[in-house]
Amino acid sequence: MSVPQHSDLIYDWNTAGDAPPRRSRPIELDDETLRDGCQSPSVRDPDIDTKLRLLHLMEKLGIHTIDVGLPGAGPRARADILALCREISDARLHITPNCAVRTVKSDIDPLIEIAQQVGRPIEACTFIGSSPLRQFAEEWTIDKILRLSVEAITHAVRNGLPVMYVTEDTVRTPPETVRRLFTAAIEAGAGRVCICDTVGHITPWGVHNLVSFVKKVVAETGQDVKVDWHGHNDRGLAVINTIAAVAAGVDRVHATALGIGERVGNCAMDQLLVNLQLMGYIDTDLTPLAEYVKVASEGTAVPIPINYPVFGKDAFRTATGVHAAAIIKAKKKNDDWLADRVYSGVPAGMVGRQQEIEVGFMSGASNVTWWLAERGIPASDQLVQQILQVAKEKDRVLEDAEILAVCGESARTAH
């Protein structure tokens, strides 16, 4: 029997027929962990040392921009923003800073001061609600929104700040309102416009419809203006919606570590990076991603669920006999590539992790034999059966100490 090539072992329905669209230019990534992520009512605002560690991990991961905070949140927020911007300059990082600001002069002025202190521009992400829901709740007219937007953008641009104009709740805003607001923002000097799914309302089909419309609006202005996507996870669709936005042709997408953020959060940057890599949209060393997730989790006091994709404790861990047997057979072929994929849709090695085989109530002899071999313990048939008997009596996976205790008892009995 001839040995197949790795490429022959996976038939990829993802690329059969309608494959993911190719892009004419690379996708850009904006990390919102330290702004929108910290707006979650359950997170702890990380100390500045943790924020600096995350900044450098973002740099390693090839993330292009970072939202360094909300200047209007108070003196501590402004001090952290200043420290992060200085670190970007002093360390000569490629990542660039931005800040979320309301379309009011009192929010923009502190950002202008910080930019002057660090001697570099900081992108102002000027945001205002746009949907009829917000208009009715706030008692705003479209004319008032336009006036506030143009005044804020003009003020920022005149003071040397690049501007991204963000319409909150864009996904529930009528087309002509979107057209008027984005056109006015571009005419006032905004270099980017951001489509925002503030409450996680849209579906992937809606993303395609809205992005296509906004791209036409931008094209009609004749200006070289980029389009961003910012999505929340209220319906559990943030990651797939962001991928849909990438496929539809937006220039930059926003996400946070572990998907933290307002209410149930945002698109998860870690999950997004893994999927973009597997889809061929990026080609990045993702081995620092595990540390990025760990630092973010500890810094914000947000635990990682055991079943969290890719970085949960159980992501590459099995105690099931059939699954373990297939992985072990692949390893015995000295084929790490095969072992990392036979029961895994994400290669563990891609993110600096490895497959783990445990012993539990659903395990078989192969689990035990492998566990012992990995630790250099001779695996007699009698010992394997003794361990399996203990495992079958439990309602959970055995701890290492429990297996070692059986090994010790077996050795004493043998003598």
pLDDT tens sequence across 65-113: 999 999 888 899 999 999 999 999 999 999 999 999 999 999 999 999 9
Per-residue confidence (pLDDT) for residue 412, from 0 to 100: 61
Q: State the burial class of residue 117 (Cβ atoms within 10 Å of its Cβ: 0-12, 13-18, 19+).
A: exposed
- Map tokens 């001090």 to a residue: 79
Reduced to 3 states, what is the DSSP secondary structure of residue 15?
helix
Judge whether 126 and 156 are in contact, CB under 8 Å. Answer: yes
Per-residue confidence (pLDDT) for residue 295, from 0 to 100: 98
pLDDT digits (tens, 9 = 90+) for 175-206: 999 999 999 999 999 999 999 999 999 999 99
Q: Is the pLDDT of residue 359 over 70?
A: yes
The structural architecture, per CATH, of the domain 23-300 is Alpha-Beta Barrel (3.20)
Tokens of 365: 């002899």
Pairwise CA distance, residues 50 & 300, whole Å: 9
Strand 163-168 relative to strand 252-255: parallel, antiparallel, unpaired?
unpaired
Segment 333-339 shows an average pLDDT of: 90
- Map tokens 């940057």 to a residue: 269
pLDDT bracket for residue 277 (50, 70, 90): very high
Contacts 24+ apart (CB under 8 A), 143-147: 145/181, 146/180, 146/181, 146/184
Per-residue confidence (pLDDT) for residue 21, from 0 to 100: 87
Per-residue confidence (pLDDT) for residue 148, from 0 to 100: 96
Cβ-based neighbours of 113, under 8 Å, separated by 6 or more? none
- Beta strand residue intervals within 135-282, DSSP E: 163-168, 192-197, 226-231, 252-255
Judge whether 127 and 148 are in contact, CB under 8 Å. Answer: no
pLDDT bracket for residue 216 (50, 70, 90): very high
Reduced to 3 states, what is the DSSP secondary structure of residue 37?
helix
Pairwise CA distance, residues 2 & 367, whole Å: 29
DSSP string computed for 81-112:
HHHHHHHHHHTT-S-EEEEEEESSHHHHHHHH
Pairwise CA distance, residues 273 & 281, whole Å: 9
The rounded percent of the chain whose pLDDT value lies above 70 is: 98
CATH 3.20.20.70 residue ranges for the chain: 23-300
> What's the predicted TM-score (pTM) here?
0.93
Residue 191: name the closest of 128, 246, 123, 112 by CA: 123
Judge whether 273 and 243 are in contact, CB under 8 Å. Answer: no
Per-residue confidence (pLDDT) for residue 12, from 0 to 100: 85
To which H or E segment does residue 356 belong? strand 356-357
pLDDT bracket for residue 4 (50, 70, 90): confident
Q: Is the pLDDT of residue 1 over 60?
A: no
Rounded to the nearest 10°, the torsion over CA 89, 92, 95, 98 is 10
Tokens of 74: 């108070």
CA angle at 349 for the pair 343 and 351, rounded to the nearest 5° = 110
Cβ-based neighbours of 62, under 8 Å, separated by 6 or more? 29, 282, 284, 285
Per-residue confidence (pLDDT) for residue 10, from 0 to 100: 87
Supply the DSSP symbol for 342. T
Residues in the chain: 415
Residue 152 CB-half CA count within 13 A: 27
Cβ-based neighbours of 235, under 8 Å, separated by 6 or more? 200, 201, 203
pLDDT digits (tens, 9 = 90+) for 29-61: 999 999 999 999 999 999 999 999 999 999 999
Q: Is the pLDDT of residue 240 over 60?
A: yes
Pairwise CA distance, residues 87 & 209, whole Å: 40
Cα–Cα separations (whole angstroms), residue 228 to 218, 273, 323 = 12, 16, 41
Supply the DSSP symbol for 281. S
Q: Is the pLDDT of residue 365 over 80?
A: yes
Segment 289-314 shows an average pLDDT of: 97
What is the radius of gyration, based on Cα positions, of the chain? 26
Judge whether 133 and 201 are in contact, CB under 8 Å. Answer: no
Q: Is the pLDDT of residue 261 over 90?
A: yes
Pairwise CA distance, residues 255 & 271, whole Å: 10
pLDDT digits (tens, 9 = 90+) for 111-167: 999 999 999 999 999 999 999 999 999 999 999 999 999 999 999 999 999 999 999
Q: Is the pLDDT of residue 409 over 90?
A: no
